[in-house]
Chains A and B, each alone.
Chain A
Amino acid sequence: MRYLPLTETDRVGMLATIGAATIDDLFVDVPASARLSEPVDLPAHSGELEVSRALGALAAQNRAAGAGPFFCGAGAYRHHVPASVDHLIQRSEFLTSYTPYQPEIAQGTLQVLFEFQTQVAALLGLPVANASMYDGSTACAEAVMMAARVTRRRKAVLSGGVHPHYASATHTLAHSAGVETRRLAAAVDGEAAVIAAIDAETACVVVQTPNVFGTVTDVSAIAEAAHAAGALLIVVATEAVSLGVLKSPGEMGADIAVAEGQSIGNGLNFGGPYVGLMACREALIRQMPGRLCGETVDAAGERGFVLTLSTREQHIRRDKATSNICTNSGLCALAFSIHMSLLGGTGLASLARLNHAKARSLRAALAAIEGVEILTPRLFNEFAVRLPAAAAPLVETLAAKGVIAGVPVSRLDPGAGFDDVLLVCATETTTDEDIAAFARALNEEIAR
């Protein structure tokens, strides 16, 4: 077995050192009735060639996004990841290291986290960011629970523009912690509706921009309304690239901002692993979940970095911790940070503008089709279109023709009454030919 260095001779010699006759002597504490005498009923070991053949066959049954016209967004986005990003995250010293609990020999990871936190704070427009969460949806759930701790209130209001999966994950986790969540009716352009739902027990309002229908909103007025009622504003962004041009959550008055960072440095991966971004106002640090990296000095006075404020965390505080999170999304955060370091602020702004331009082209092409109505009033790189028929079957039909047309709202939110609405997205990876192929195929199907 290629991954196991011990030889039979080693094993015999080591057992002799231990004073055991057989390996079974080391498993004596297992109740006799539970000891398996034979391997379980699964295939025996395989060589590299066999495994790569078997998994390659499964991979080949999937239609890769890059194989043709592709327009899915709605929380996961196909962007180009520079080759150097994937090369660097496969450096042994990053890939095969553990959480940096021994800072003297983990400065590489720690400095990366400090740089990551600085980048995320700038992107979200707030002073403090943590070292990452599992993904955007769980970051959203954690933010709601954090707001409940800060305000000592137990109700959260979510706008109808919050991604339905985010709302669902937030409900599951927050409900378990005794926080009641209320998601308003799905609406293409209704973030401001949360204002009317705020009352004296509201811990936080959660709004998303661009929202799941692609609509961009200035949420400053919502911030004012929330703050006037003693509630916090949580702003969610699922498309991190949008923050290259759009007002940051902090600029609009957010107390906590969360985002999905997958768009920068990370592939689609069928939904994970991704990287949750989270930032907040300075005063809220001690209620923040997750790891934080801070600057300090070593015994010789040299600058260095350590994980800090760990008295918030489960390994110190146990049942009094701010969260149960332990593992974060370190390697995805590294990929994010490397890609962000390549882009810089100017590069991200250009990338964002290019995405916007592609989406405008897509909008123009689809708007020209009879029977198609553009619903999203202010878009960044994705938008909702109303079709003359149910979206889900149409998407399947177009897929059979080689065009992955987007995400039917009915898939995300079956009962919302948006069965004829399709969410489409364009990024820098979308070509004019892709757009033309989509418009042609859609036109044909609608005309049929």
Chain B
Amino acid sequence: MSVVSIGRPTRPASEPDAGFKAHSGRGLLQDEPLIFELGGWEKTGVDLPADPQGADLDLSDLAGLTRDTPLALPGLSEPETLRHYVRLSQKNHAIDLALYPLGSCTMKHNPRLDEAMARLPGFIDIHPLQPISTVQGALALMDRLAHWLKTLTGMPAVALSPKAGAHGELCGLLAIRAAHEARGDARKTVLVPTSAHGTNPATAALVGYQVEEIAQTGDGRVDLADLAAKLHDDVAAVMVTNPNTCGLFERDVIEIARLTHEAGAYFYCDGANFNAIVGRVRPGDLGVDAMHINLHKTFSTPHGGGGPGAGPVVLSEALAPYAPAPWIVRGDSGFDLIEHAEGEAAQALGRMCAFHGQMGMYVRALAYMMSHGSDGLRQVAEDAVLNANYIKTRLSGVMTAAFPNGPCMHEALFDDRWLEGTGVTTLDFAKAMIDAGFHPMTMYFPLVVHGAMLIEPTETESRREIDRFCDALLELAAAVQAGDVERFKGTPFHAPLRRLDETQAARKPRLRWTPPGA
């Protein structure tokens, strides 16, 4: 394809360090340099209110405290800014463009009503420390969100403030540690299944626990005998994801809880996959003591290219007294906030962060919950599970399901047995999906399955889109079986970039732009 370049600024092809092409060579998809390569070192795209004192502003208050050299960052006018970021945006995949089948990540539709609600001035433009009497609506919203979370999980208490799932895990384990310490029974070990998210062992280690792994059975679940053998009086907690990262419900979950409690330990549930069971199962009925809920997964607050998330933690009666500050109480004159771990709240484990957590995400999550209602949320779980099983069934004819017997929950897990001897790897297959118009599934996770491919469609995909996805994968799989290895090696060819050299990036890290020659 040739593109007319008249009138378009171009650099001479011979310039050695151009760093980018003036044009990507793909129709109207523009290449875009770094903002530091666009000039603008002297300008700004913001018109500030006239400063009456202008350059004569008295800076005597700051004598000796001002920058030695002016801050060297470029500024862009508004039209240049829009171009820069819109061009960059076009190099991203997004759930609004197509199915985003990342297992364990839960990429579902983000309702725009939720965005609009979070931007109401009464939510976005209130300060965390303004007088309590002026934020009664905000506290009422947090109280209502807490009610929904407690009711959906069947748990008596919730700590809202953790800022993401891993922060919630930390909160839960800190509460567990505090509970043990309070009865003079400090413990040292946390048991985690081999299939767990990396955050589970990382969090346990951060809190100072030794991590011991629990074996998995042949059908992808916690090995009860191994658990029982490892449960001793030094185990503080058992951390289990349910449904687990193989996309399976832990059938023996009630027995796991019973054994855990019998050993004087607490049962922590990683709630990353709560979206599979919301409205159909309450973790409180399973014996769970603490579970974080990723509002950006189950309750669809946008992932935003990597955050922000929100990770409220529901707690059992035994752990509730140790919840971190702040929390909301309801008095005669309205809602109040308990912000300090003292007096009657002295058992609280302290504070997880400044202020009250991710209010912007609370508004979005509550809008999502109210929109679905108790009936719709149940349907969410059912459709998510239905879509995953449909994919599992359609692809199992060619690809090898890791756990073929029985249904999966919200995600379908395949291994790479079907690729053996073909010369195509899981990575090749996944990257070839990009050229076929789809984002790859989660690869090589969970670690317990060889060459894992974990597909999570979520409930917000239509049957038509899922069929389109399955057709594309089956077509690729047929090419594998036909021995067309060349089609896979070196993919993707049609993405904005080819495969990136991650080894070079790590060997000699370049983590910021520096001026040429610097």
Interface contact A61-B45, CB-CB below 8 Å: no
Interface contact A118-B36, CB-CB below 8 Å: yes
Residue B8 interfacial (CB < 8 Å): no
Residues from chain A with a CB closer than 8 A to the CB of B92 are 93-94, 97, 100, 105-109
Residue A350 interfacial (CB < 8 Å): yes
Given the complex of chains A and B, what is the CA–CA distance between A109 and B164 in angstroms? Answer: 20
- Assuming the contacts A59-B137, A344-B40, asked whether A97 and B170 have C-beta atoms less than 8 A apart, the reply is no
Residues from chain B with a CB closer than 8 A to the CB of A44 are 373-376
Interface contact A18-B393, CB-CB below 8 Å: yes
Closest Cβ neighbor of A399 among chain B residues? B131
Of the candidates A62, A305, A310, which one forms a contact with B136 in the assembled complex, judged by CB atoms under 8 Å apart?
A62
- Assuming the contacts A18-B393, A52-B116, A84-B81, asked whether A246 and B67 have C-beta atoms less than 8 A apart, the reply is yes
A105-B93, A338-B81 given; name 11 further pairs at CB < 8 Å.
Answer: A3-B371, A45-B372, A50-B370, A62-B126, A103-B502, A106-B305, A292-B509, A344-B40, A357-B51, A360-B61, A379-B61
Given the complex of chains A and B, what is the CA–CA distance between A135 and B164 in angstroms? Answer: 11
Interface residues of B in 6-65 (CB under 8 A from A): 19-21, 32, 34-36, 40-46, 48-49, 51-53, 57-59, 61-62, 64-65
Q: Mark B352-383, 1 if CB is under 8 A from A, else 0.
A: 11111111110100110111111111111011
B496 CB to closest chain A CB (Å) equals: 5
Given the complex of chains A and B, what is the CA–CA distance between A44 and B377 in angstroms? Answer: 9
A-B contacts, 30 of them at CB < 8 A, read A5-B463, A27-B280, A30-B277, A30-B281, A42-B374, A45-B371, A45-B373, A52-B117, A62-B136, A63-B134, A89-B304, A93-B92, A97-B93, A100-B92, A108-B89, A108-B90, A108-B92, A111-B34, A127-B512, A272-B361, A296-B502, A298-B500, A305-B500, A315-B197, A323-B206, A341-B74, A342-B44, A353-B57, A357-B53, A379-B61
Given the complex of chains A and B, what is the CA–CA distance between A378 and B356 in angstroms? Answer: 30
Interface contact B130-A86, CB-CB below 8 Å: no
Interface residues of A in 320-346 (CB under 8 A from B): 320-321, 323-332, 334, 338, 340-346
Interface contact A341-B81, CB-CB below 8 Å: yes
Residues from chain B with a CB closer than 8 A to the CB of A5 are 460-463, 465
Given the complex of chains A and B, what is the CA–CA distance between A91 and B90 in angstroms? Answer: 10
Interface contact B152-A103, CB-CB below 8 Å: no
Closest Cβ neighbor of B105 among chain A residues? A98
Q: Which of A6-14, A225-233, A435-443 contacts B (4 or more CB under 8 A)?
A: A6-14
Residue A254 interfacial (CB < 8 Å): no
Of the candidates A3, A70, A296, which one forms a contact with B504 in the assembled complex, judged by CB atoms under 8 Å apart?
A296
Residues from chain A with a CB closer than 8 A to the CB of B68 are 247, 251
Interface of B is mostly: loop
Residue B421 interfacial (CB < 8 Å): no
Interface contact A308-B505, CB-CB below 8 Å: yes
Of the candidates B36, B340, B374, B506, which one forms a contact with A115 in the assembled complex, judged by CB atoms under 8 Å apart?
B36
Residues from chain B with a CB closer than 8 A to the CB of A4 are 376, 379-380, 383, 459-460
Interface contact B73-A107, CB-CB below 8 Å: no
Residues from chain A with a CB closer than 8 A to the CB of B488 are none
A321 CB to closest chain B CB (Å) equals: 4
A174 CB to closest chain B CB (Å) equals: 10
- Assuming the contacts A96-B302, A319-B202, asked whether A349 and B94 have C-beta atoms less than 8 A apart, the reply is no
- Assuming the contacts A3-B372, A269-B360, asked whether A102 and B208 have C-beta atoms less than 8 A apart, the reply is no
Interface contact A39-B43, CB-CB below 8 Å: no
Given the complex of chains A and B, what is the CA–CA distance between A61 and B125 in angstroms? Answer: 13
Interface contact B93-A294, CB-CB below 8 Å: no
Of the candidates A95, A216, A316, which one forms a contact with B62 in the assembled complex, judged by CB atoms under 8 Å apart?
A216
Residues from chain B with a CB closer than 8 A to the CB of A414 are 340, 342
Q: Which of B95-103, B224-232, B259-267, B312-320 contacts A (4 or more CB under 8 A)?
A: B95-103
Interface residues of A in 35-67 (CB under 8 A from B): 35-36, 39-48, 50-52, 54-67
Closest Cβ neighbor of A396 among chain B residues? B131
B224 CB to closest chain A CB (Å) equals: 14
Residues from chain B with a CB closer than 8 A to the CB of A351 are 46, 48
Residues from chain B with a CB closer than 8 A to the CB of A3 are 109, 111, 371-372, 376, 460
Given the complex of chains A and B, what is the CA–CA distance between A127 and B512 in angstroms? Answer: 8
Interface contact A39-B375, CB-CB below 8 Å: yes
Given the complex of chains A and B, what is the CA–CA distance between A98 and B310 in angstroms? Answer: 15
Interface contact B46-A245, CB-CB below 8 Å: no
Residues from chain A with a CB closer than 8 A to the CB of B115 are 90, 95
Interface contact A102-B280, CB-CB below 8 Å: no
Of the candidates A247, A298, A347, which one forms a contact with B44 in the assembled complex, judged by CB atoms under 8 Å apart?
A347
Residue A283 interfacial (CB < 8 Å): no
Interface contact B164-A344, CB-CB below 8 Å: no
Residue A362 interfacial (CB < 8 Å): no
Interface contact A61-B140, CB-CB below 8 Å: yes
Nearest 7 A/B pairs, CB to CB: A344-B75, A271-B355, A59-B122, A331-B304, A61-B137, A347-B44, A271-B128
A273 CB to closest chain B CB (Å) equals: 4
B447 CB to closest chain A CB (Å) equals: 9
Residue B483 interfacial (CB < 8 Å): no
Q: Which of A190-198, A199-207, A365-373, A404-412 contacts B (4 or more CB under 8 A)?
A: A404-412
Of the candidates A1, A115, A244, A306, which one forms a contact with B372 in the assembled complex, judged by CB atoms under 8 Å apart?
A1
Interface residues of B in 298-349 (CB under 8 A from A): 302-310, 324, 339-340, 342, 349
Closest Cβ neighbor of A14 among chain B residues? B390
Of the candidates B138, B378, B387, which one forms a contact with A270 in the assembled complex, judged by CB atoms under 8 Å apart?
B138
Residues from chain A with a CB closer than 8 A to the CB of B125 are 64-66, 78, 267-268
Of the candidates A42, A95, A332, A395, which one forms a contact with B152 in the assembled complex, judged by CB atoms under 8 Å apart?
A42
Residues from chain A with a CB closer than 8 A to the CB of B461 are 5
Interface contact B510-A319, CB-CB below 8 Å: no
Given the complex of chains A and B, what is the CA–CA distance between A58 and B145 in angstroms? Answer: 12
Residue A15 interfacial (CB < 8 Å): yes
Interface contact A327-B51, CB-CB below 8 Å: no
Residue A285 interfacial (CB < 8 Å): yes
Given the complex of chains A and B, what is the CA–CA distance between A392 and B141 in angstroms? Answer: 24
Residue B1 interfacial (CB < 8 Å): no
Interface contact A299-B177, CB-CB below 8 Å: no
Interface contact A105-B439, CB-CB below 8 Å: yes
